[in-house]
Structure 1
Amino acid sequence: PVSVKNALAIKKINKDINVHILYRDLSMVKDEQIHLQAAKAAGIKFVRFPDDRYPEVTKEDGNLSVNVYDLLLGSEYKLPSDLLVLTVGFTGDETIDAIRGHLKVSTNKEGFFQERHIKLGPLDFPADGVALCGCAKNPKTLKETCEEGIGAAMRASIPMKNGFIEAEGIVADIDLTNCNSCSICWKRCPYGAIKVNENKEPEVIKALCKGCGLCAADCPKECITIVHYSDEQLLAQVEAALEENPEKKILGFVCHWCALGGVDMAGVSRLQYPPNGRLIRVMCSARVPTKLIERAYELGAAGVLVAGCEFPTCHYITGNYACESRIKRARKKLAKKGYNADNLWLTWCSAADGPKFANVMRDMVKELGLG
Structure 2
Amino acid sequence: DSVERVKGLLKVSASADGFFQEAHVKLGPLEFASQGVALAGCAKAPMFFRESCEAGLGAAMKASIPMKNGYIETEGIVANIDLTACNQCGLCSKRCPYNAIRVDAEDNPAVVKALCKGCGLCAADCPKECISIVHYTDAQVLAQVDAALEADPGRKIIAFVCHWCALGGVDMAGVSRLQYPPNARLIRVMCSARVSIKMIRRAFEGGAAGVLVAGCEFPTCHYIQGNYAAEARVKRAKKQLIKAGFDPGKLWNIWCSAADGPKFASTMRTMARELKLES
Q: Which residue of 2 aligns with 1:210?
A: 117
**In structure 2, how many angstroms separate the alpha carbons of the residues matched to 1:185 and 1:171?**
13
Give the drift of 1:334.
Answer: 0.3
User: Equivalent of 2:147, from 240, 254, 257?
Assistant: 240
Give the drift of 1:198.
Answer: 2.1
Q: How high is the TM-score relative to the length of structure 1? A: 0.74
User: Equivalent of 1:358, from 246, 265, 271?
Assistant: 265
Measured against aligned partners, the alpha-carbon deviations of 1:111-161 in whole angstroms (never above 9, x if no partner) come to 111000011100001000000001111111111111111111110000001
Measured against aligned partners, the alpha-carbon deviations of 1:72-105 in whole angstroms (never above 9, x if no partner) come to xxxxxxxxxxxxxxxxxxxxxx301011001000
The number of residues matched between the two structures is: 278
**In structure 2, how many angstroms separate the alpha carbons of the residues matched to 1:306 and 1:326?**
10
**In structure 1, how many angstroms separate the alpha carbons of the residues matched to 2:142 and 2:56?**
44
Give the drift of 1:236.
Answer: 0.3
Q: 1:151 is aligned with what amino acid?
A: G
Unaligned runs of 5+ in 1: 1-93
Q: 1:342 is aligned with what amino acid?
A: G
Q: Which residue of 2 aligns with 1:165?
A: 72
Q: 2:85 is aligned with what amino acid?
A: N
What's the secondary structure of 2:116's corresponding residue?
coil
**In structure 2, how many angstroms separate the alpha carbons of the residues matched to 1:365 and 1:149?**
46
User: Equivalent of 1:282, from 177, 183, 189?
Assistant: 189
Q: 2:100 is aligned with what amino acid?
A: A
Aligned-pair RMSD on alpha carbons? 0.6
More relative contact order, 1 or 2 (CA 8 Å, 6+ apart)? 2
**In structure 2, how many angstroms separate the alpha carbons of the residues matched to 1:213 and 1:225?**
8
Matches within 5 A, 1:53-202: 94-202=1-109
**In structure 1, how many angstroms separate the alpha carbons of the residues matched to 2:244 and 2:107?**
36
Q: Which residue of 1 aligns with 2:204?
A: 297
Q: How high is the TM-score relative to the length of structure 2? A: 0.99
Q: Which residue of 1 aligns with 2:245?
A: 338
**In structure 1, how many angstroms separate the alpha carbons of the residues matched to 2:18 and 2:38?**
17
What's the secondary structure of 1:278's corresponding residue?
strand
**In structure 2, how many angstroms separate the alpha carbons of the residues matched to 1:273 and 1:327?**
24
Corresponding position: 1:267 with 2:174: yes
Q: 1:166 is aligned with what amino acid?
A: E
Measured against aligned partners, the alpha-carbon deviations of 1:146-192 in whole angstroms (never above 9, x if no partner) come to 11111111100000011100110100000001111111101010001
Unaligned runs of 5+ in 2: none
**In structure 2, how many angstroms separate the alpha carbons of the residues matched to 1:142 and 1:196?**
47
What's the secondary structure of 2:147's corresponding residue?
helix
**In structure 2, how many angstroms separate the alpha carbons of the residues matched to 1:129 and 1:295?**
38
Counting aligned pairs with the same residue, the percent is 69
Q: Which residue of 2 aligns with 1:324?
A: 231
**In structure 2, how many angstroms separate the alpha carbons of the residues matched to 1:365 and 1:235?**
23
Q: Which residue of 2 aligns with 1:43?
A: none
Q: Which residue of 2 aligns with 1:11?
A: none
Give the drift of 1:347.
Answer: 0.3
User: Equivalent of 1:255, from 162, 176, 184?
Assistant: 162
**In structure 2, how many angstroms separate the alpha carbons of the residues matched to 1:148 and 1:181?**
45
Stretches (4+) displaced over 4 A? none
**In structure 1, how many angstroms separate the alpha carbons of the residues matched to 2:85 and 2:24?**
37
